[in-house]
Structure 1
Amino acid sequence: MHAVTKIETEFAAALAAHGLEAAEIVADGRIHRFKGPEDRSGKQSAWYVLYADGIGGGAFGDFKAQIHGSWRGEAAANWTPAERDAHRARVAERRKLEEVERERTHAEAADASRMIWERARDATVDNPYCSRKGVKPFGLKEFHDKRTLIVPISNAAGELVNLQFIAEDGTKRFKTGGAVAGCSFQFGGEPSADGLLMIGEGFATCASAFMAARAPAVCAFHAGNLLDVARSWRAKLPGARIVMLADDDHRTDGNPGLAKATEAAQAIGAVLAVPEFGADRPDGATDFNDLHALAGLEAVRSIIQRAVNGEPMTPAASNDSAPARAAIEHEAEVRQFPQEASNDESPEAKETDEQAIARLAALKPLQYDRVRKSEAKRMGVQVTTLDKLIAAERQDDSDDEGGMFLDVEPHPEPVDGGELLDMLAGTIHRFIVCNEATAHAAALWIVMTWVMDSVDVAPIAAITAPEKRCGKSQLLFLLGRLSCRPLPASNITPAALFRAVETWKPTLLLDEADAFMRENEELRGLLNCGHTRDSAYVIRTVGDDHTPKRFFVWGAKAIAGIGHLADTPMDRSIALELRRKLPHEQVDKLRHAELGLFGQLTAMLARWSEDNAEAVRIARPDLPAALHDRAADNWEPLLQIAETVGGAWPETARRAALALSGEAETSQSAGTELLSDIQGVFAEKLTSRMSSADLLASLLGDEERPWATWNRGRPMNLKQLAQRLGEYGIKSKNIRSGYTVAKGYDSAQFTETFARYLSTPLSTATPLQANTDGAESVADAPLRSGTNGGDATLEPLPDKGCSGVAGKTGENGKNENNDAGGDL
């Protein structure tokens, strides 16, 4: 331990000599980021990696300050034999533990991959990626969104150990922690012992080759894996004719696609097929799928057939890069004499590490994914180390976000989802006075912000309270500390909102919503349209010529304010209701939170979301039947997360959903509130028919209901009542009251509407009875006699003005509907 401490001390001195100072030096062989001398707040452009093996060694640098150095220690020069033996034992033990951990991670990833594969659906021919590439999804599956393809990855023994996910735009990623080296995906039928087998990098390349040549194909996923996969299949099929399908990465230094395919072909005695695009080669054309799209399957078939027949390529038809010329010159050797790859230095060997990082950072994601492993091996660093350096370089080159979002380094170890949610709920309770359901809902909503690409509904977290000083702003601030890419944006304008959401894809945090949203209809509309992924678009004109442009406003939003939001945004929300704390209810102040608390939690959130995004996407939880349709939509993404986490959380989440959004707790819109009150009036009056005037009078009689002040402080009138009911297809009709006829309603008109929009259908303890004196009936129905129960239609009295038509002058000389407005 003494020697390791000395190694770290000497390394810190080496950093200091270059103007760098890390808060802590750890000799664990992992990359560590820290603030450099030219960094502004929140940035970490400096880095180091230190190994304690042997006499110690490491590297360090600062992208912004253009600093780079390496170090070799002298601490072990005077070790005693006992110290040296102890150090070797520590190194051996560490390597053993690393291997055990690697095997454990591979096993967990394999289990998760098998679960995802079993639950996924077979890919359809209209999958967007396949349609764009012009191929069929041979043997693939896809998520239920019909967008993301799933490619199975098997080891040499044929066991499924990993998955590749291909997004609609072509972005590819593997299941975190899964094995890839030496693993592949084979389709197109079982290869025979002496038959033809094609091996290429990506699925689309291999699919185009299969459609052209109708021979089994093997996908190796990237250039650096071609050699291992080729050797594995050669061991299985020593007599097979194998064709290596090269990607011609002519614009990438060293042309890794062609170089690695050539190396693999030489190593196993395979033939090499290289796509030929001619003198008018388009930008970005590199592989056989590109050739398929540009020249058709016959062009692909011709090149593969020429390779199998041993016909040499002509230099004029091929790329003029050095690796391509070398492949042409040695093509006969590749076909006839398997040999080891050349040890000549490649062009990359002469460049510095800084130059290599800059070169790799400039690659497109797909291109970088193909070369990252081979480049990491060449540079002598771990792939994860190279990934982090490239990510840092790309971030430093982009000022789009102005440094407002901090980088979150995922937790180095896999995270248990149940423990994470428990920690989040406990943290909320520690700082906020709220009930269990609110804490659980908030914890699930926080996790949702980290997996927005895996859900299709984005419920607003509506933090509400009846008065000030109930903790609304505190909870909003806490959500901001834990959510993905939080963006506080109170008083944001509509124009800024849709631009910010599309550009940065943040978690939007809006405070004092009751004030600035009250009169802002456009802002409410923008928030509403971002509720579902499919509808999250707005069209606005931009520029001096007012060109229409579509903006994508999909993202998580949390809004805090006094009282509930307007009906429409509230209907798209999960209400996190708070109350002012009592004297005995004590919570910690957020500003007193210990250093590193939120950093630890966000690192765990980043790791869990990275590992489980696909599982969340395909989760199909059981939604509580008591939730109405919109509430079920709102809770679906949170229940997807709970279902993925497992354990007690699926049931905990359902209880929270029922407590916060169940029918009994769901706030009503103005329309359903009116229907509910009308239902109560019919039940209270024990009647099945009422005139419009009597119904309205009953509604206005309850001072606690909104109808007495409905029209800006004035009572609702008959015209407004008719208009509101007309929206549900309920129209007033002629109702006889005694010997007069007025506009009114029969309870039967409401039966279907009550069933559709209210949780309790119209019913009373006492069955509705017809009035025994025949004082009230539908105008066109026979009037029942109260004496003999017979049906008889009474003729109007000759001295009465009742004609059976509403709106005529009655016996009192007054118009029965002189204030009915829209009822007439």
Structure 2
Amino acid sequence: MSFEELEPWDAPVNIEPIANQIENLLVTHCVMTDQERVATTLWIISSYCNNSFRIFPRLTVISPERRCGKSTLLEVIEAVTKNALLTSNLSTAVLYRLTETTKPTLIIDEADTFIKNSDPQMKGVLNGGHNKSQAKVLRCEGDNHTVKVYDAWFPIVLASIGTLYDTIMDRSITINLIRKKPSESVMPPPQDLKAESLEIRQKILKWANDESTNIESNIHRPAYKGNDRATDNWTPLFTIAREISEHWFNKCEHAYHLLMHEVEMELPTLLLSDIRESFKKWKSERISSSELLNLIKQDETAPWESERLTAAKMASTLKPYGIKPSDIRFGKKVLRGYSQSQFTDAFERYLPRAPY
């Protein structure tokens, strides 16, 4: 397999016109929201600087069904990223051996089918490669079973019909494509788009090489919105946007606030959230397990009936948080129950600030 030997542009580069050019390519060929175009443009440019960051997100492109423009978007991304490798299938061994010869931008189409049918090690490599310090794969090789360390730190784009498994989505900037309306008009990419985009790639590489020290010294984390992982994922985009211009930084902030949806809570966290709401209704420091369970199940939109939540199952779910029921006197009766103060620490650590 041969990769492009990309040479940087031979003169200083103003990166803002390049960002505008990439954004215009997305306008011309892809049906996306303005905020998705901004996020995609910034991810592409920041991928040239991924070594400057501790965390680098996957760019995950999803759609509800076929013919929503994923392949076209991948063509555009392939044309303007460094050492792009577009594939719909590869083995785990190939994935971590890619860096033996190059640092690719790996673009995986049909990731829903590909990852679903892959071995569990593939998921581990994809998850671990999100964090620079964890992007290492250890394998025993040769007759002497010598341990060899592979570096799995490189930018990855994933395209899927429907969402991928939670750990990947949690590590991604997500682009939600939708099908083009009859009234919407975009042009198919030219056959030689990658060749036409050589100057873009060279100029981004030159700028990234020149600005690497400055970027590393000026990492910018976005405002916290109750999700540490999202803050980590968007940090490269905010950092690059601030280096481009104030205009692009403002566009990045707008995209972040619109695209960074509140992450759906996992069941244990949802249980904590519902318990917090139940205590607000109960307005007492202590509550029996049965009363707490009744309050939680009053919300018919919650999954607790289908999950067959019982007092015992609730206690088991709360145990990892260091919360256990105890015998509490309620009038003449002694019942198993909880005190609100038992939950204070868990509420502060695992739930967003309560709206009062």
Answering whether residue 346 of structure 2 is matched by residue 753 of structure 1, we say yes
- C-alpha distance in 2 between matches for 1:719 and 1:534: 40
Distance 2:193 2:249 in 1: 31
Over 3 Å counting, the alpha-carbon distance change for 1:674 and 1:570 in structure 2 is farther
Q: Which runs of 5+ in 1 are unaligned?
A: 1-401, 764-824
- Picking from 489, 506, 517, the partner of 2:104 is 506
More contact order relative to length (CA 8 Å, sep ≥ 6): 2
* Cα deviation code 1:19-69 (max 9, x no counterpart): xxxxxxxxxxxxxxxxxxxxxxxxxxxxxxxxxxxxxxxxxxxxxxxxxxx
Amino acid at match of 1:448: S
Mapped pair 1:415 → 2:13: yes
* Distance apart, 1:433 and its partner CA: 1.9
CA separation in 2, counterparts of 1:658 and 1:515? 31
**Conserved? CA contact 1:659–1:665, under 8 Å:** no
Equivalent of 1:552, from 151, 162, 172?
151
Taking the aligned partners of 2:41 and 2:224, their CA distance within structure 1 comes to: 23
Measured after TM superposition, the shift of residue 492 of structure 1 is 2.7
Q: How far off its partner does 1:447 sit? A: 0.9
Would the alpha carbon gap of residues 722 and 497 (structure 1) be closer, same or farther in structure 2, given more than 3 Å must change?
A: farther
CA distance in 1, matches of 2:184, 2:283: 48
Distance in 1 (alpha carbons) for counterparts of 2:310 and 2:116: 25
Q: 2:48 aligns with which of 442, 445, 450?
A: 450
Q: Percent identity?
A: 34
Change in 2 beyond 3 A, CA 1:459/1:739: same
Q: Could you tell me how far apart the structure 2 residues matched to 1:595 and 1:538 are?
A: 31
Which among 4, 23, 41 is matched to residue 425 of structure 1? 23
**Are residues 1:609 and 2:214 paired?**
no
Over 3 Å counting, the alpha-carbon distance change for 1:462 and 1:585 in structure 2 is same
Task: Specify whether residues 449 and 680 from structure 1 end up closer, same or farther in structure 2 by C-alpha distance, changes over 3 A only.
Answer: same
Is 1:723 aligned to residue 316 of structure 2?
yes
Over 3 Å counting, the alpha-carbon distance change for 1:628 and 1:745 in structure 2 is: same
Is the contact made by 2:52 and 2:212 (CA closer than 8 Å) also made in structure 1? yes
Q: Give the structure 2 partner of residue 819 of structure 1.
A: none
1:521 corresponds in structure 2 to 120
**Shift in alpha-carbon separation, 1:619–1:697, aligned structure 2, 3 A:** same
Q: Which residue of 2 aligns with 1:742?
A: 335
Aligned counterpart, 2:219: 620
State whether residues 79 and 194 of structure 2, in contact with CA within 8 Å, keep that contact through their aligned partners in structure 1: no
How far 1:452 moved relative to its partner? 2.6
Of residues 142, 150, 173, the one that matches 1:543 is: 142
Amino acid of the residue matched to residue 442 of structure 1?
T
Secondary structure of residue in 1 paired with 2:39: helix
- The answer to whether the Cα contact below 8 Å between 2:128 and 2:136 also exists between their aligned partners in 1 is yes
Is 1:645 matched with 2:244?
A: yes
- Offset of residue 551 of structure 1: 1.6
How far residue 445 of structure 1 moved from its aligned partner, in angstroms, is: 0.8
- Letter paired with 2:276: Q
CA deviation vs aligned residue, 1:287-316 (integer Å, no higher than 9, x gap): xxxxxxxxxxxxxxxxxxxxxxxxxxxxxx
Question: How far apart are 1:624 and its partner, in Å?
Answer: 1.9
| Aligned counterparts, 1:344-493, within 5 A | 402-403=1-2, 405-493=3-91
Q: Confirm or deny: 8 A CA contact 1:440 1:653 kept in the other structure.
A: yes
SS at match of 2:160: strand
How far the C-alpha of 1:595 sits from its partner, in A, is 7.9
Contact kept in structure 2, 1:660 and 1:666, CA below 8 Å: no
Q: Give CA deviations for 1:514-560 in whole Å, capped at 9, x if unaligned.
A: 33434753222211211222222122222244332222111111122
Structure 1 counterpart of 2:271: 674
- Secondary structure of 1:616's counterpart equals helix
Cα deviations by residue, 1:430-468 (Å, 9 ceiling, x for unpaired): 222222221111111101221233333211112233444
2:9 & 2:310 partners in 1: Cα distance? 62
User: Kindly tell me: are residues 503 and 705 of structure 1, through their superposed partners in 2, closer, same or farther at Cα, counting changes over 3 Å?
Assistant: farther
- Per-residue CA deviations over 1:81-103 (Å, capped at 9, x if unaligned) read xxxxxxxxxxxxxxxxxxxxxxx
Instruction: Please tell me the residue identity of whatever aligns with 2:73.
Output: L
Structure 2 unaligned regions, length at least 5: none
Q: Is the 8 A contact 1:624 1:658 kept in 2?
A: no
Match of 1:692 in 2: 289
The RMSD of aligned alpha carbons is 2.9
Maintained 8 Å contact 2:72/2:188: no
Q: Which residue of 2 aligns with 1:261?
A: none
CA distance in 2, matches of 1:516, 1:719: 39
Task: Confirm or deny that 1:733 pairs with 2:326.
Answer: yes
Please name the residue that 1:163 is paired with: none
Separation (CA, whole Å) in 1 of partners of 2:269 and 2:88: 31
C-alpha distance in 1, partners of 2:305/2:310?
A: 9
Given that residues 79 and 193 in structure 2 are in contact (C-alpha distance below 8 angstroms), is that contact kept between their aligned partners in structure 1?
Answer: no
The CA deviation string for residues 472-501 of structure 1, in whole angstroms up to 9 with x for no partner, is 343233222221111234343322221224
What letter matches 1:635 in structure 2?
A: W
d(CA) in 1 for partners of 2:189 and 2:281? 51
Amino acid at match of 1:524: K
Match status 1:658 vs 2:257 = yes
| Change in CA separation of 1:703 and 1:579 when aligned onto 2, cut-off 3 Å | farther
Change (3 A) 1:729 1:479: farther
SS of residue in 1 equivalent to 2:242: helix
CA contact (8 A) 1:458 1:531 kept: yes
Q: 2:60–2:174: 8 Å Cα contact kept in structure 1?
A: yes
Partner-residue secondary structure (3-state), 1:504: coil
Deviations, residues 99-150 of structure 1 (Å, cap 9, x unaligned): xxxxxxxxxxxxxxxxxxxxxxxxxxxxxxxxxxxxxxxxxxxxxxxxxxxx
* Count of equivalent residues: 355
Contact 2:221 2:232 in 1 (8 A): no
Amino acid at match of 1:618: S
